[in-house]
Amino acid sequence: MRYSVFSVLSQALKGNTGWKPVWREPEPKAEYDVVLVGGGGHGLSTAYYLAKNHGITNVAVVERGYIGSGNIGRNTTIIRSNYGEHGNIPFYEWSLKLWEGLEQDINYNAMVSQRGVLNLYHSDAQRDAAAQRGNTMRMHGVDAELLDVEGVRKLVPNLNFDNARFPIHGGLFQPRGGTVRHDAVAWGYARAADMRGVDILQHCEVTGIRVENARALGVETAKGFIKAKKIGLACAGRSSQVAAMAGLRLPIESHVLQAFVSEGVKPLIDTVITFGAGHFYISQSDKGGLVFGGNIDGYNSYAQRGNLPVIEEVMEEAVAMFPSIGRLRVLRHWGGLMDMSMDGSPIIDKTPIDNLYLNCGWCIGGFKATPASGWCFAHLIAQDAPHDVAAAMRLDRFATGRLINESGTGAQPNLH
Amino acid sequence: MRIPCPHCGERDVGEFAYYGDATKRRPDGASDIEAFFDYVYPRDNPAGPHRELWYHLGGCRAWLVVNRDTRTHEIFGAEVAYKAGAPGAEAGSP
Predicted confidence (pLDDT) per residue in A223-278, tens digit: 999 999 999 999 999 999 999 999 999 999 999 999 999 999 999 999 999 999 99
In tens, the pLDDT along A108-138 reads: 999 999 999 999 999 999 999 999 999 999 9
List Cβ neighbours of A305 (8 Å cut-off, separation of 6 or more).
A256, A258, A334, A335
pLDDT at B82: 86
Residue B90 pLDDT more than 90? Answer: no
Distance, CA of A248 to CA of B85 (rounded, Å): 27
Tell me which chain B residues have a C-beta less than 8 angstroms from the C-beta of A241.
45, 47
Q: Is A315 on the interface with B (CB under 8 A)?
A: no
Q: Taking residues B4-13, what's their average pLDDT?
A: 97
Contacts of A411 in chain B (CB under 8 A): 40-41
Residue in A346, A384, A356 with CA at minimum distance from that of residue A229: A356
How confident is the model at residue B86, as a pLDDT? 66
Query: Average pLDDT, stretch A356-363?
Result: 98
DSSP-derived 3-state class of residue A210: strand
Question: Phi and psi at residue A227, in whole multiples of 5°?
Answer: -75, 145
Examine the predicted complex and report whether its ipTM is higher than 0.90: yes
Residue in chain B nearest A238 by alpha carbon: B47
A241: distance to nearest CA of chain B, Å?
7
Strands A199-201 and A59-62: what pairing?
parallel
What distance lies between CA A95 and its chain's CA centroid?
10
Q: Residue A237 in 3-state DSSP? A: helix
The mean pLDDT value for A77-84 works out to 97
Give me the pLDDT at residue A414, please. Answer: 87
Cβ burial of A257 (10 Å; 0-12, 13-18, 19+) is buried
Name every chain A residue with its beta carbon within 8 A of the beta carbon of B66.
Answer: none
The answer to whether residues A339 and A302 touch, using CB atoms and an 8 Å cutoff, is no
Q: Which amino acid is at A295?
A: N
Please tell me the distance from the alpha carbon of residue A131 to that of residue A145, in angstroms, as a whole number.
Answer: 9
Q: Please state the separation of Cα A225 from the chain's center in Å.
A: 30
Does A330 score more than 90 pLDDT?
A: yes
- In chain B, what is the straight-line distance between the N-terminal and C-terminal CA atoms, in Å? 23
Decide if pLDDT at A194 tops 60: yes
**Closest Cα in chain B, distance from residue A71 (Å):** 17
Q: Find which of A238, A299, A345 to mutate to test the B interface (most B CBs within 10 Å of its CB).
A: A299
Residues of chain A with pLDDT > 90, as a percent, come to: 96
DSSP string, A350-373: E-SSBTEEEEE--TT--GGGHHHH
Instruction: Inform me whether the C-beta atom of residue A307 falls under 8 Å from chain B C-beta atoms.
Output: yes
Is residue A74 within 8 Å of A336, Cβ to Cβ? yes
List pLDDT tens digits, range A284-294. 999 999 999 99
CA distance B35 to chain A (A): 11
* pLDDT digit string, tens, across residues A137-175: 999 999 999 999 999 999 999 999 999 999 999 999 999
Angstroms from A137 CA to nearest CA on chain B? 29
Evaluated on CA atoms A243, A247, A253, A254, the torsion sign reads positive
DSSP string computed for B21-62: ETT--PPPTTS-HHHHHHHHS-B---SSEEEEEEE-TTTT--
Is the model's pLDDT at B94 over the cut of 70? no
Q: What is the helix (H) or strand (E) element at residue B1, kind and residue range?
A: none
Give mean pLDDT, residues B2-10. Answer: 97
How close does chain B come to A240, measured CA to CA in Å? 6
Percent with pLDDT over 70 in chain A: 100
In which band, very low, low, confident or very high, does the pLDDT at A373 lie, cut at 50, 70 and 90? very high
Q: Does position A404 have pLDDT exceeding 70, yes or no?
A: yes
Q: Which residues of A touch B2 (CB under 8 A)?
A: none
Mean predicted lDDT score pLDDT of chain A: 96
With cut-offs at 50, 70 and 90, classify the pLDDT of residue B92.
Answer: very low
Is the CB of residue A352 less than 8 Å away from at least one CB of chain B? no
Size of chain B, expressed as the number of residues it contains: 94
How far is it, in rounded angstroms, from Cα B88 to Cα B94?
5
Q: Is residue B91 very low, low, confident or very high in pLDDT (cuts 50, 70, 90)?
A: very low
Q: How far apart are CA B67 and CA A123, in angstroms?
A: 41
Phi, psi of A225 (to 5 degrees): -75, 135
Bridge-partner residues for A241, per DSSP? none
Can you give the pTM of this predicted structure? 0.96
What integer is the mean pLDDT of A315-336? 95
Instruction: Measure the CA–CA gap between A255 and A361, rounded to whole angstroms.
Output: 11
As a whole number of angstroms, the distance between CA A267 and CA A209 comes to 49
Which residues in chain A have Cβ-Cβ distances shorter than 8 Å to B71? 302-303
Instruction: Identify all chain A residues contacting B40, using CB atoms and an 8 Å cutoff.
Output: 342, 398, 411
What gap in Å lies between CA A52 and CA A378, rounded to an integer?
Answer: 10
Cβ neighbours of B20 in A, within 8 Å = 253, 300, 413-414
| Contact between B45 and A414 using a beta-carbon 8 Å cutoff | no
Q: What is the mean pLDDT of residues A348-369?
A: 97
Q: Does A400 touch chain B (CB under 8 A)?
A: no
Q: Which of A249, A307, A309 sits opposite B44 (nearest CB)?
A: A249
- Mean pLDDT score, A191-208: 98
Chain B contact for A399 (CB, 8 A cutoff): yes
Contact map slice: A 243-282 vs B, CB within 8 A: 249-254
Report the b/e string of A108-119 with b at 16+ CB within 10 A. Answer: bebbbbbbbbbb
Q: Which residues pair with A354 in a beta bridge?
A: A215
Which among A240, A298, A342 has CB closest to B41?
A342
Cβ–Cβ < 8 Å for A36, A60: yes
Given a contact cutoff of 8 angstroms between Cβ atoms, the answer to whether A200 and A194 are in contact is yes
Q: What is the DSSP string of A63-86?
A: -SS-TTSSGGGTS--EE-----ST
Per DSSP, chain B holds a count of helices (H) and strands (E) of 2, 6
With CB atoms and an 8 Å threshold, state whether B37 touches A399: yes
Which is nearest to A82 in space by CA: A144, A169, A149?
A: A144
Which residues of B make CB contacts under 8 Å with A? 1, 12-14, 18, 20-21, 37, 40-47, 50, 52, 68, 70-73
